[in-house]
Amino acid sequence: MTNDILLSPHFKLREFIASRTAEEHGIDNTPPDEAVENLRRLCEGCLEPLREALGLPVVVTSGFRTKALNSLLAHSSERSQHMLGQAADLYIGHTENTESTEKASRRELLIKAFREVLTNPKIDFDQIILYPTFIHVSFVSRERNRRGILLAQGNGKLGYGRLSLSSALQIV
């Protein structure tokens, strides 16, 4: 399998399997075929429509994780949807190395993307979590998505607050 496989018009497999931690620990982060198909569904059902709606790049910082990789990451769950290829962490439109003057606009773009996922009928999701510097989004299938909305407390270190759609739209 090549890492240049297109999962959707704007997303390649390599974006979802790249991991500095995996490289540092010699972990092969190649997903099984089922996880690749799950990543394709995530792209088609959520990430591609989000990119289209915003007109900006959606940058994946963490996608698929093998169990070995997932276990090395702080605050990762033993039930992480990343291990199934059903989740991605992302930010919008900027490189990771933004200058401090751009951080406010980066946060504004996260809020805009969060709101877009919640309100756009073309975008479906299983779970969305708003963190201070990124968004976690997952997708199972249109029939099984729970549409759970969470807000990370203390970057997830202090837990997560479950939100209703109306309360989520009030904070953003």
Over residues 18-30, the pLDDT tens digits come to 999 999 999 999 9
- pTM score, two decimals? 0.89
Q: Greater confidence, 70 or 97? A: 70
Pick the CATH number of 6-171 from 3.30.1380.10, 3.90.550.10, 3.40.50.720, 3.50.50.60: 3.30.1380.10
Q: In what order do the strands lie in the sheet with 58-62?
A: 58-62, 87-92, 135-138, 127-130, 148-152, 160-163
Query: Residue 90's closest CA among 115, 62, 111?
Result: 62
Looking at residue 76, its pLDDT comes to 75
Looking at residue 2, its pLDDT comes to 73
Looking at residue 4, its pLDDT comes to 85
The 10s digit of each residue's pLDDT in 114-163 is 999 999 999 999 999 999 999 999 999 999 999 999 999 876 667 889 99
